[in-house]
Structure 1
Amino acid sequence: MRALVSQSPRTSASGEGTHTLAVVELPLPVPGPGQVRVAVRAAAVNPVDLATANGVLAAGGLHPARDSVGLGWDVAGRVDALGAGVAAYSVGDEVIGLADLLDAVSGTHAEYVVLDTHQIAPAPPGVDPVAAATIPLNALTAEQALDNLALTPGQSVLVTGAAGGVGGFAVELAVRRGLRVAAVAAAADEALVRGFGAEWFVPRDVERLGAAVRALVPGGVDGALDAAVLGGAEVLGAVRNQGAYTTLGPASAIPLRGIRTSHTWIAADGERLAQLSQLAAAATGGLTLRVADTFALSDAEAAYGRLARGAVRGRLVLVP
């Protein structure tokens, strides 16, 4: 089968080296006990894929330095083989899934991928696989980040990067939890994030974020979800004393003024993913699925290059 990998034949122990993208031929993976093989129909490209491809994650110690590492987290596809003991799925089932192991020979940017059953969920009914492939990583990250904040209905939450993949879902999911949302995004994206349900809006280029938020929410918001990874020093000023803050990156956040700080590290969760899939179903429309463009797997380098240039609204999706 064909699979996209990041190759670094001169990788050092620190993970530094010359990294190149290549579509290579690998043996067709065989599902083991409790696993399924998915014939990939679509796979989104995310910033974490770019960081893996560039060797940033290996350099940061998040996976061992390798001469070759598989790429891709998100997938939408069809089950085409079952491992021993799998009863919840059948060959032919349409699914979405999340490959959350960083040190992989092959990821979802491939023609086939093997996943544990806890990494997949039924695909959203009535939704095209290209759009469905944008759900797993970003929606699960947003949901788990909101869990970490542990806010209650009626409380307020600041979402940075509110026009992004995680941030957009975070705004919608926060509103569904009964939270009042202050969104940070580019000025041109104000209508977009208000459409997601944001009550307040702050342009991302404001000089003092904390002061701007407090002008809208006296005393500060109850929690902040730093999807843009602006860093605690900038965002904590917007949070009330003894509030909550979570970030998606490894940057430290000092718990000033008794603020409870955390890092959200995504973990596959099939049960939660199934709930998000139902929410995104065509008949429900509870999540806004955004596709910026599609690329053939053979043209993956162009997709990665476009993501690296930035200013992408919605996800870029590879189609084998």
Structure 2
Amino acid sequence: MRVVGVTEFGGPERLGVHEVRDPHAGPGEVRIRVAAAAVNPTDAGVRGGMRDAGDAPPPWVAGMDAAGVVDEVGEGAPYEVGDRLMAIALPLSEHGGADVELLVGPWESMARVPAGASLEEASTLPMNGLTAVQLLRLLALPEGAVLAVTGAAGWLGNLLVPLAKRDGLIVVADAKAEDRALVTGLGADLVLERGSGFADRVRAAYPDGVDGLADLSVQQAEVLPAVRDGGRFASVRGWQGEPGRDVEFVAARVFSEYRSHDDLDRLGRLAEQGVLVPRVAEVLPAERAADAHRRMEAGGVRGRLVLAF
């Protein structure tokens, strides 16, 4: 099968298409013929060697999101050949990343594609959707609490904001002027200017500070003052915060969600209901993975770039 990966860690130019042996589904596993694999910031870390490859041989394959059609079912897996599934993948692990023609994984790492969604749209949901679910669980805010979200216009924010609203939270989000309509449309109750001084602007609206903050744009210490004493700060990069603040720091680790079938299935049902709206920025052939990585790292992409196999 064809895979997109690197044999030497580095920039996007290192990415290439390689031929490797076809994998097969074992007991409790499913193999899908991948039609679409979304490109995420985590992919750059795999490509650049910022994650431990361990004993995994090259080519090293990135990608945590895929969607395709089942073509092989292991004993005990509750799917059939021909089912349309979306999946989360773990690069540099037993089954490897999602940027492949044939992806094998435990059936719990997959769920049915939302009715009415294309495979390209479905490929944008698993990793970021499960990250959003995990962040909200870690924050554990009660209904009516105030949650600030940085990076709300990015794809993770596009999923987190409506999920937070569904949980009954009041959402204060940031946005550039050109993204204000997008973020407002997600359901944010208050949209403030993104950038330096965001914490001050939050405090102007909520003098005691907000109950929780999801720092999706990794501003860390710059936005910490927005959180009240006794509040919670959620990081997507493992930041442990600053001493001296009475704030609880939590960090999302989406790799622990590999077998979260029930949550992934719920995300699909929310997409069917229109609560979550998959957004594909552009579909590129797998051979143009380097271009997709360059565009992703340049920033400003709304929705996800998707590789087609």
TM-score (norm 1): 0.90
Q: Name which of 128, 145, 170 aligns with 2:118.
A: 128
Q: In the TM superposition, what whole-angstrom CA distance separates every residue of 1:148-173 from its partner, at most 9, and x where no partner exists?
A: 00001100001110000111111110
**Which residue number in structure 2 is paired with residue 223 of structure 1?**
212
Q: Name which of 37, 42, 45 aligns with 1:43.
A: 37
Question: Per the alignment, do residues 212 and 64 of structure 1 end up closer, same or farther by CA in structure 2, a change over 3 Å counting?
Answer: farther
Q: Work out whether residues 11 and 47 of structure 2, in 8 Å CA contact, stay in contact via their aligned partners in 1.
A: no
Name the SS for the 1:125 alignment partner.
Answer: coil
Q: By how many angstroms is 1:223 displaced? A: 0.3
Name the SS for the 1:131 alignment partner.
Answer: helix
**Which residue number in structure 2 is paired with residue 189 of structure 1?**
179
Name the SS for the 1:153 alignment partner.
Answer: coil
Question: Per the alignment, do residues 18 and 112 of structure 1 end up closer, same or farther by CA in structure 2, a change over 3 Å counting?
Answer: closer
Q: Work out whether residues 90 and 96 of structure 2, in 8 Å CA contact, stay in contact via their aligned partners in 1.
A: no
Q: By how many angstroms is 1:85 displaced? A: 2.1
**Which residue number in structure 1 is paired with residue 253 of structure 2?**
265
Q: By how many angstroms is 1:78 displaced? A: 0.9
Show structure 1 runs of 5+ residues with no match. Answer: none
Higher mean alpha-carbon deviation, 101-110 vs 307-316, is at: 101-110
Q: By how many angstroms is 1:236 displaced? A: 1.5
**Which residue number in structure 2 is paired with residue 27 of structure 1?**
21
Q: Name which of 187, 194, 199 aligns with 2:189.
A: 199
Q: By how many angstroms is 1:65 displaced? A: 8.1
Q: By how many angstroms is 1:110 displaced? A: 1.3
Question: Per the alignment, do residues 311 and 119 of structure 1 end up closer, same or farther by CA in structure 2, a change over 3 Å counting?
Answer: same
Q: Work out whether residues 171 and 196 of structure 1, in 8 Å CA contact, stay in contact via their aligned partners in 2.
A: yes
Name the SS for the 1:57 alignment partner.
Answer: coil
Matched residue type, 1:308: E
**Which residue number in structure 1 is paired with residue 128 of structure 2?**
138
**How many Å separate the matches in 2 of 1:6 and 1:20?**
6
Matched residue type, 1:257: R
Name the SS for the 2:38 alignment partner.
Answer: strand
Name the SS for the 2:295 alignment partner.
Answer: helix
Show structure 2 runs of 5+ residues with no match. Answer: none
Q: Work out whether residues 157 and 182 of structure 1, in 8 Å CA contact, stay in contact via their aligned partners in 2.
A: yes
**How many Å separate the matches in 1 of 2:239 and 2:139?**
17
**Which residue number in structure 2 is paired with residue 77 of structure 1?**
68
Matched residue type, 2:76: G
Root-mean-square deviation over aligned CA pairs: 1.9
Name the SS for the 2:158 alignment partner.
Answer: helix
Q: By how many angstroms is 1:68 displaced? A: 3.0
Q: Work out whether residues 31 and 102 of structure 2, in 8 Å CA contact, stay in contact via their aligned partners in 1.
A: yes
**Which residue number in structure 1 is paired with residue 4 of structure 2?**
4
Question: Per the alignment, do residues 240 and 119 of structure 1 end up closer, same or farther by CA in structure 2, a change over 3 Å counting?
Answer: same
Q: Work out whether residues 183 and 193 of structure 1, in 8 Å CA contact, stay in contact via their aligned partners in 2.
A: yes
**Which residue number in structure 2 is paired with residue 280 of structure 1?**
271
Q: In the TM superposition, what whole-angstrom CA distance separates every residue of 1:44-82 from its partner, at most 9, and x where no partner exists?
A: 000001221122224xxx866864311111011111101
Q: By how many angstroms is 1:83 displaced? A: 1.3
**How many Å separate the matches in 1 of 2:111 and 2:270?**
13
**Which residue number in structure 1 is paired with residue 235 of structure 2?**
247
Aligned sequence identity (%): 39
Matched residue type, 1:252: Q
TM-score (norm 2): 0.93
Question: Per the alignment, do residues 256 and 279 of structure 1 end up closer, same or farther by CA in structure 2, a change over 3 Å counting?
Answer: farther
Matched residue type, 1:7: T
Matched residue type, 2:3: A
Q: Work out whether residues 3 and 106 of structure 1, in 8 Å CA contact, stay in contact via their aligned partners in 2.
A: no
**How many Å separate the matches in 2 of 1:143 and 1:122?**
18
**How many Å separate the matches in 1 of 2:11 and 2:294?**
18
Name the SS for the 1:198 alignment partner.
Answer: coil
Q: Work out whether residues 13 and 290 of structure 2, in 8 Å CA contact, stay in contact via their aligned partners in 1.
A: no
1:103-182 alignment, distance < 5 Å: 103=93, 106-182=96-172
**How many Å separate the matches in 1 of 2:107 and 2:305?**
25
Q: By how many angstroms is 1:104 displaced? A: 5.6
Q: By how many angstroms is 1:136 displaced? A: 0.5
Q: By how many angstroms is 1:302 displaced? A: 1.4
Matched residue type, 1:253: G
